[in-house]
Amino acid sequence: MRGMEKIKSKILEDSKRTVSHILEQAQQQAEKIKNDALKESESIRVEILDKAEAEGKEAYRRMVSTAVLEGRKELLKAKQDIIETAFISAMEKLLRLSDRDYQKLIEDMIVDAAKNEKGEILLAEQSKKRLNEDFLKKINTRIASLGDGAKLVLSDESVKAAGGFILRYGEMEINSTFEIMFEMLKPELENDVVDMLFS
């Protein structure tokens, strides 16, 4: 029986050693799996943080870029408003000229635009009230140098405009209303106005 006890004891010892060895290996493997998982999760965490930081920087860059663009648009709009105001102010200044200066201006403009033909002058309603009775006589005297055919009469028709006139020669019209003149001069003068206002 003693032999049996020895064998039994030997089997139990071997079993304990085997179990202990298996447990130790299992623990080592579990520790390795845990460490690998921690390394992997740290790597993923760093990757996520890097990606989030890059996306945050890109979002910030886009926001700054958009803000700069909006700022430029607002500045451009403000400049255009100021330029428009400058042109409106110039028009108002023209309309506030004394009647004498206003008549002289209209006379000069008509003489510059007149042809050696018979034609008629269509005035803005407000202009008619500001011109004296010598107005037409002075113009015809001044344009006589163009030739025998140069003669203008005042039309009964009025022009819908703040000021200025239209010269009509048959089917042809020369529009010298202030609104049209300012529209034509605007592109030419805009850069000068910008230089004066914003330099």
d(CA 56, CA 59): 5
Q: Is the pLDDT of residue 26 over 70?
A: no
Q: Given phi > 0 = left and psi -120 to 50 = alpha, else beta, which region is 99?
A: alpha
Q: For the residues 54-68, what does the mean pLDDT come to?
A: 83
pLDDT of res. 168 = 96
Helix (H) or strand (E) holding 161: none
Q: For the residues 135-148, what does the mean pLDDT come to?
A: 92
Q: For the residues 183-191, what does the mean pLDDT come to?
A: 81
Instruction: Say which range, 93-97, 117-121, 137-141, has the weakest mean pLDDT.
Output: 93-97
User: Can you give the pTM of this predicted structure?
Assistant: 0.60
We find that the CATH architecture of domain 98-198 is 2-Layer Sandwich (3.30)
pLDDT of res. 8 = 57
- Locus of tokens 């003149």: 181
d(CA 120, CA 151): 8
In the chain, domain spans:
1-96, 98-198
Q: Which amino acid is at 81?
A: D
Task: Collect all residues with Cβ–Cβ distance below 8 Å to 194 and sequence separation of at least 6.
Answer: 79, 83
- Locus of tokens 């239209």: 166
Q: Is the pLDDT of residue 30 over 80?
A: no
Instruction: Say which range, 17-31, 120-134, 142-156, 174-188, has the weakest mean pLDDT.
Output: 17-31
